[in-house]
Copies of this chain bind each other. A is one copy, B any other.
């Protein structure tokens, strides 16, 4: 007997038909002799509907009340899923975040899970119940409802798997697993049977919207075996786990991220402390920086370029204007760019990986604006209208097709 945590996203439970499909997956897992804990997101467009309703009465509602509102979404879907399972004749109970003992930080709308009191969960599992838990939510020390922010339901699933020492955590999505690149962009995209935590982390942060980074980090920390698979096709997905031997395939995937904007600060004095002041200012505004490029100083001047999420571009520019010595004329921005990356654990020890990527781009006539490398990835910033072409060209160059 294994303990399996299964997480289903909003599209997997969006209506009665999908709920029945999901209930079938869950009860088959249970009937095979497993203990099953299910984490469920709000149905389909519920969250967007709630946000719209809130806007009608308050353009800037408090995060506390927003969390109260949004958390009702999972409460609705968990009850409906439990009822669907009841109709199949299986024992089931649904639990909200607070009922499931999910204790979080006080930070409304972006709370972190501090600990999970598993008393109630264990009691329900001992009673042979299938346990449905509301994803994305918990309570803080004031007994107030919190939500975990983006990717929260994945995080709930992995945290529960860790707390309950689950044998497997399955993340059901609308794709079959993790691919070498986006199948919608490149027909030759191939599904990976397994991938390491670190590779998955790079892929997730690079815009492969399959698993949220927080959940992968947590899975790595507690060594939780993750499986990414489809609730529709029911085929084996991709296992995310500690991969022991270096794989033969150096490059595991090619990804594209459009949520990126470049900010350049040009012609500033080439003297110590400038970079520190710039990035300290941005940190104060809680703006995350991704790629950073600093030109070599010349004529006593230098340039610093970096990328941020597109939503933060305007705020970053305003913040930079408060830095001593930087005026509007020093700042230029571009938001018509994309980041294209290759990821693979074996990459660092093999020469020629980066140059193969650049060759593919050169052959397609694509200009590179910025380059950024890490142990297991190489990223380039290019014009957005060339991004899909770049992904296909790189995928072909590395012969990743299935």
Whether A99 sits at the interface, judged by CB under 8 Å, is yes
Q: Is A57's CB under 8 angstroms from B72's CB?
A: no
Contact B75 A20 (CB under 8 A): no
Distance between Cα atoms of A58 and B69 in the complex (Å)? 26
Q: Which B residue's beta carbon lies closest to that of A62?
A: B86
Docked-complex contact A93 and B64, CB < 8 angstroms: yes
Complex: how many Å from CA A72 to CA B70?
10
A76 at the interface (CB under 8 A from B): yes
- Out of B57, B76, B120, B145, which one reaches A69, CB within 8 Å? B76
Q: When the two chains form the complex, which single residue of B15, B58, B78, B87 contacts A84, counting CB atoms closer than 8 Å?
A: B58
Residues from chain B with Cβ under 8 Å of A19 in the complex: 57
Residues of B near A56 (CB, < 8 A) are 15-16
Contact with B along A50-76 (1 / 0, CB 8 A): 100110111101101110110110011
Partner of A61 from the list B62, B86, B99 (CB cut-off 8 Å) is: B86
* Cβ-defined contact, A76 with B82, below 8 A: no
Tell me the bound Cα distance from A65 to B98 in angstroms. 16
Question: A64-107: which have CB < 8 Å to B?
Answer: 64-66, 68-69, 71-72, 75-76, 78-80, 82-84, 86-87, 93-94, 96, 98-99
Indicate if the CB atoms of A79 and B83 lie closer than 8 Å: no
Known: A64-B93, A120-B143, A143-B99. A58 touches B76 (CB 8 A): no
Task: Tell me the number of copies of this protein.
Answer: 2
B50 touches A65 (CB 8 A): no
Kindly list chain B residues whose C-beta atoms are within 8 Å of the C-beta of A57: 16, 19-20, 80, 83-84, 87
- Whether A62 pairs with B83 at a CB distance below 8 angstroms is yes
For A94, the chain B residues whose CB sits under 8 A away are 65, 68
Tell me whether B54 and A80 are in contact (CB under 8 A): yes
**0/1 interface trace, chain A 8-23, chain B, CB 8 Å (1 if under):** 0000000110011000
Q: Which listed residue (B59, B64, B75, B86) contacts A71, Cβ 8 A?
A: B75
Partner of A83, one of B16, B20, B54, B96: B54
Residue of B nearest to A50 (CB): B76
A53 to B76, CA, bound (A): 10
Residue from B65, B86, B93, B143 in contact with A79 in the complex, judged by beta carbons closer than 8 Å: B65
Query: Are B75 and A72 in contact, with the CB atoms below 8 A?
Result: yes
Q: Which of B65, B69, B96, B145 contacts A86 (CB 8 A)?
A: B65
Do the beta carbons of A82 and B65 come within 8 Å of each other? yes
Indicate if the CB atoms of B61 and A68 lie closer than 8 Å.
no
Q: Are A72 and B68 in contact (CB under 8 A)?
A: no
Task: Determine the distance from Cα of A315 to Cα of B2 in the docked complex, in whole angstroms.
Answer: 46
Contact A78 B68 (CB under 8 A): yes
In the complex, the answer to whether B71 meets A83 with C-beta atoms within 8 Å is no
A58–B87 touching, CB < 8 Å? yes
Q: How far is the CB of A80 from chain B (nearest CB, A)?
A: 6
A79/B58 in contact, CB under 8 A: no
CB-CB nearest 7 A-B residue pairs: A69-B79, A16-B56, A61-B83, A58-B87, A68-B79, A58-B83, A57-B84
Sample of 8 A–B contacts (CB below 8 Å): A16-B56, A54-B83, A57-B80, A57-B87, A58-B87, A65-B94, A69-B83, A120-B143
